[in-house]
Structures are given as C-alpha cells and as structure tokens.
Amino acid sequence: MSVAPPVDTMTSEMLRGDIETRTEASPKALKHCLEAADTSLDKVVMVRIYAVNSGFYNAINRVYAKYFAVNPPARVRAGGVMADGV
C-alpha cells in the first residue's frame, strides 16, 4: 500500500504547517485505509519516508513513535523535494 504526501483528507489540499503536522497526515491516512481493509498498523512491515531536510527526522520519529510504539516497521528515509515544494 502506498500513501500520498501530506494531504488533508477532507479537502484534498496539501497540508501546510510544521513538519509534525504534515508528517501526521501519512500514518493517519494509512491507519484509516488499513482499518477500512479490516487490518491495522501492526501489520505494516516497512515505511518509506521522504523529507526535504534531514533535520526533520527527529520530528518525524516523534510522530511515527505515536503510531508504531511497539515493534515499529523497518524504515527507509530519503531526501528530496516533492510536488508543490513540500
């Protein structure tokens, strides 16, 4: 399963705000999709995280720790600029 960049699920607009606000959108959307498929985050085995600045990783880790507190999935982190400069 693939989850899109930080998009507001109600408006389909790119989220603005600090990195934690934008990061929160992805695991939240993933959780919603998995629950709709009658499964859950504890079944996730790998996550790819793209960030434009490696300085964001501490904030990203804080957000992901809320969603994957026990047995977190393997993660791949990469840098780069996504659409709309996000």
In a domain, 9, yes or no: no
Contact in structure between 51 and 11 (CB atoms under 8 Å):
no
Residue 39 resides in a domain? yes
Q: What is the pLDDT tens value at each position of the chain, 86 positions in all?
A: 676 678 877 888 888 889 999 899 889 888 988 999 999 999 999 998 888 888 898 999 999 999 999 989 998 878 765 555 54
Q: Is 61 exposed, middle or buried (0-12, 13-18, 19+ CB in 10 A)?
A: middle
pTM score of the predicted model? 0.76
CATH of the domain at 33: 3.30.1330.40
Please state the domain count of the chain: 1
